[in-house]
């Protein structure tokens, strides 16, 4: 009788542990479109904050940036030569357009002095 109880307890612990591990490893993906931005400002403001080291807390957070398109690539644009925004899908942008973009801040490139966003989407 004791062996059955011990076996059931061990089996229950293993099942609960496996389920918890699975849920921990395979979390749902973030939906940047539905998240609220923690910062909103111009491309120059965002770049200045990173250049001076004031806002490293923006990393991996959703931010909204406004600026003029200075460079267009297949799936990315650069705003005011300060913020690079990578889009999930190809977008139609022209140089000189004033746009607002919402995306996840993934870092700051010290060499090129540019803030990088991914999972970006245009807001207008």
**Which CATH number belongs to the domain containing residue 53 in this structure?**
2.40.50.140
Expressed as residue numbers, the domain containing 83 is: 39-123
The answer to the question of residue 107 being in a domain is yes
| pLDDT tens column, 37-67 | 999 999 999 999 998 888 778 999 999 999 9
Look at the pTM and tell me if it is higher than 0.95. Answer: no
Average pLDDT over the chain reads 91
Total domains in the fold of the chain: 1
CA distance 109 to 88: 21
Alpha helices in the chain (DSSP H): 2-25, 43-51
Answer left, alpha or beta for residue 105, where phi above 0 means left and psi between -120 and 50 means alpha: beta
Q: Which residue has the tokens 């807390």?
A: 57
In a domain, 50, yes or no: yes
Residues 64-96 have pLDDT tens digits of: 999 999 999 989 999 999 999 999 887 888 999
């Amino acid at each position: 009788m004791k062996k059955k109880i011990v076996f059931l307890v061990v089996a229950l612990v293993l099942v609960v542990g496996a389920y918890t591990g699975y849920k921990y490893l395979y979390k749902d993906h973030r939906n940047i479109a539905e998240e609220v931005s923690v910062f909103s400002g111009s491309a120059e403001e965002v770049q200045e904050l990173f250049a001076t080291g004031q806002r490293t807390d923006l990393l991996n957070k959703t931010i909204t940036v406004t600026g003029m398109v200075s460079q267009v690539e297949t799936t990315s644009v650069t705003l005011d030569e300060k913020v690079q925004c990578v889009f999930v899908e190809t977008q139609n942008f022209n140089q000189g357009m004033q746009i607002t973009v919402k995306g996840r801040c993934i870092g700051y490139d010290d060499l090129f002095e540019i803030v990088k966003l991914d999972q970006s989407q245009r807001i207008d």
